[in-house]
Amino acid sequence: MVAFRIHQYQVVGRALPTESDNHPKIYRMKLWATNEVRAKSKFWYFLRKLKKVKKSNGQMLAINEIFEKNPTKIDNYGIWLRYQSRTGYHNMYKEYRDTTLNGAVEQMYNEMASRHRVRFPCIQIIKTATIPAKLCKRESTKQFHNSKIKFRWCSRRLGHHLGS
């Protein structure tokens, strides 16, 4: 499970300065990737689609990992995504309950893979946001909005010290 840890990166880059444009505009993007190398690559991928700049005539100014501010707080995360299915592109909005945004994004990738057979490269995250409980749309997240939550849990005691 630790192998496919998704991190959030802030990537900042711009086109290389030329004689005609000494101070090209600087662009910043927040991405999810498993490591910094992939984050930089994804940054150029998106920037190419938005502006006329490529990695060969651009420069990376900064790449920083963004960490969760409050990993002990549970939030409802809404994720807007665009994914490629076998027949075309679709938009989707999904909700997840998790302590960290990276955890929610990881849940999203796993769920898209299992429910829709969509793999990591075919998903683009448009937007993420923490949603206050009142504005959640999905029943599966709303059912946990209960301050007196209580349910049964029957578990078999597995063999002691499993995996240790």
Residues contributing to the site for other proteins (CB under 8 A)? 72-74, 96-99, 140-141, 144, 147-153, 155, 157-158, 160-164
Q: Nearer to other proteins by C-beta: 44 or 77? A: 77
Q: Nearer to other proteins by C-beta: 121 or 159? A: 159
Residue 56 backbone phi and psi in degrees, to 5: -70, -30
* Residues 101/128, Cβ–Cβ less than 8 Å: yes
Q: Nearer to other proteins by C-beta: 87 or 155? A: 155
**What is the smallest separation between the CB atom of 10 and other proteins, expressed in angstroms?**
25
Q: 3-class SS at 96?
A: strand
**What is the smallest separation between the CB atom of 110 and other proteins, expressed in angstroms?**
12
Residue 61 backbone phi and psi in degrees, to 5: -95, -40
Q: Radius of gyration of the chain from Cα atoms? A: 20
Q: Nearer to other proteins by C-beta: 121 or 153? A: 153
> CA angle 120-125-129, nearest 5°?
135
**What is the smallest separation between the CB atom of 137 and other proteins, expressed in angstroms?**
16
**What is the smallest separation between the CB atom of 130 and other proteins, expressed in angstroms?**
14
Q: How far apart are CA 42 and CA 35, in angstroms?
A: 11
